[in-house]
């Protein structure tokens, strides 16, 4: 018989309470008491709490993972607290970016307002989550689980697609989560732990971006030990800048990293930080960047780092570069409607 396994075997209940209740009610009726009979209460079914009742299906990020066109991203001072800097950048380049990268330290709350603001403006939010403290091992051991759970719950609740990059440039030595103070296994454990907490919270609207520094200056650091695994990563990010002294072509700047990654992952690439150091090559660098991304089917876009940090990476410092950027960005392959990829 295909039958009511569960309905027929509800949890063991005491027989006494309902009988007592019934008798009390019956006696109440007999003695003229005005107690009404129970109106079919729900003894075995407490109500779901309000938050879970209103939870809907998370945003389906799959169309955003491997779009036909390229992301045209920007990281700019003041955003997403305000989108005025993004608007100014868009005005300069003649096109609205469709990805906004910004940074959050470990312990910062999820910037729901900023995320909503960005998404409403047609920008996919990408958070570089920086675990300055505690250590990666502590995170992996669950010491900050309350914080992660809250963060994940907020991500789920806001229900806007968001790309998250934990501990970017983990293969470098310059950050506390880098090679100097951590082992690759710590990074992987921490990543997987955070990812699983998000999974448990149902925050499936997150896009996971594993974002090492380009390997050129870090030849002795193999990437594979830092890779959390295919099921934990959606995009492979790359942090790599055109500098006066470094590589000056897309092929030499990103090629070695891409070849190294392709030995253990088939995930699409996204350049999560890039810019060109001001100087005579800047226009060429910009042209090379656009051409390289456009010519690489497995590179889904890039993020222009429009900050002053150790150098002035801002585009607006050089009108010629702005013009070059403007001309290249006009190509229809860059920038698409993230709401309808």
Supply the minimum distance, in Å, between the C-beta of residue 55 and other proteins. 8
Specify whether the CB–CB gap between 148 and 194 falls below 8 A: yes
Specify whether the CB–CB gap between 78 and 102 falls below 8 A: no
Which CB, 7 or 280, lies closer to other proteins? 7
Supply the minimum distance, in Å, between the C-beta of residue 192 and other proteins. 9
Supply the minimum distance, in Å, between the C-beta of residue 296 and other proteins. 15
Which CB, 66 or 149, lies closer to other proteins? 66
Supply the minimum distance, in Å, between the C-beta of residue 180 and other proteins. 30
Supply the minimum distance, in Å, between the C-beta of residue 18 and other proteins. 5
For binding to other proteins (CB under 8 A), which residues are involved? 1-13, 15, 18-19, 21-23, 25-27, 29-30, 37-38, 40-46, 48, 52, 55, 57-58, 60, 62, 65-66, 196, 199, 201-202, 204, 229-231, 234-235, 265-268
Rounded Cα gap, residues 311 and 303, in angstroms:
17
Taking each helix axis from N to C end, the angle separating 84-93 and 319-329, rounded to the nearest 10 degrees, works out to 80
Which CB, 206 or 218, lies closer to other proteins? 206
Q: What value, to the nearest 5°, has the Cα angle with vertex 268 and ends 262 and 272?
A: 105
Which CB, 51 or 252, lies closer to other proteins? 51
Residue 36 φ then ψ, to 5°: -75, 155
What are the residues whose beta carbons fall under 8 Å from the beta carbon of 33, sequence distance 6 or more? 27
Supply the minimum distance, in Å, between the C-beta of residue 132 and other proteins. 28
Specify whether the CB–CB gap between 91 and 67 falls below 8 A: no
Secondary structure (DSSP) of 52-94? HHH--PPP--HHHHS-SSBEEEEEETTTTT-SHHHHHHHHHHT
Which CB, 62 or 183, lies closer to other proteins? 62
Which CB, 5 or 340, lies closer to other proteins? 5
């Amino acid at each position: 018989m295909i039958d009511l396994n569960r309905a027929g075997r509800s949890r063991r209940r005491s027989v006494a309470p309902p009988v007592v209740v019934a008798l009390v009610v019956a006696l109440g009726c007999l003695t003229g008491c005005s107690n009404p009979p129970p109106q079919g209460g729900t003894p075995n079914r407490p109500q779901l709490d309000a938050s879970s009742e209103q939870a809907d299906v998370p945003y389906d990020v799959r169309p955003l993972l491997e779009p036909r066109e390229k992301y045209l991203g920007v990281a700019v001072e003041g955003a997403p607290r305000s989108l005025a800097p993004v608007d100014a950048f868009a005005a300069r380049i003649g096109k609205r970016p469709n990805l906004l990268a910004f940074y959050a330290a470990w312990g910062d709350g999820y910037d729901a307002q900023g995320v909503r603001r960005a998404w409403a403006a047609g920008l996919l939010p990408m958070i570089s989550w920086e675990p300055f403290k505690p250590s990666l091992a502590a995170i992996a051991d669950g010491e900050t689980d309350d914080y992660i759970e809250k963060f994940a719950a907020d991500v789920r609740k806001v229900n806007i697609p968001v790309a998250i990059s934990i501990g970017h440039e983990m293969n470098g030595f310059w950050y506390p989560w880098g090679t100097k103070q951590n082992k690759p296994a710590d990074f992987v454990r921490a990543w997987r732990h955070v990812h699983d907490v998000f999974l448990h919270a149902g925050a499936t609207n997150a896009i996971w971006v594993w974002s090492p520094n380009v390997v050129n200056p870090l030849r002795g650091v193999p990437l594979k030990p830092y890779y959390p695994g295919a099921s934990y990563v959606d995009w492979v990010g790359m942090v790599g800048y055109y500098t006066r002294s470094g590589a000056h072509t897309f092929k030499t700047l990103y090629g070695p990293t891409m070849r190294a990654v392709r030995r253990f992952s088939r995930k699409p690439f996204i350049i999560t930080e890039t810019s060109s150091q001001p100087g005579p090559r800047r226009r060429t660098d910009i042209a090379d960047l656009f051409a390289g991304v456009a010519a690489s089917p497995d590179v889904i876009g890039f993020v222009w780092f429009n900050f002053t940090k150790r150098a002035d990476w801002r585009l607006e410092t050089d009108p010629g570069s702005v013009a070059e950027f403007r001309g290249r960005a006009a190509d229809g392959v860059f920038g698409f409607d993230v709401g309808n990829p």
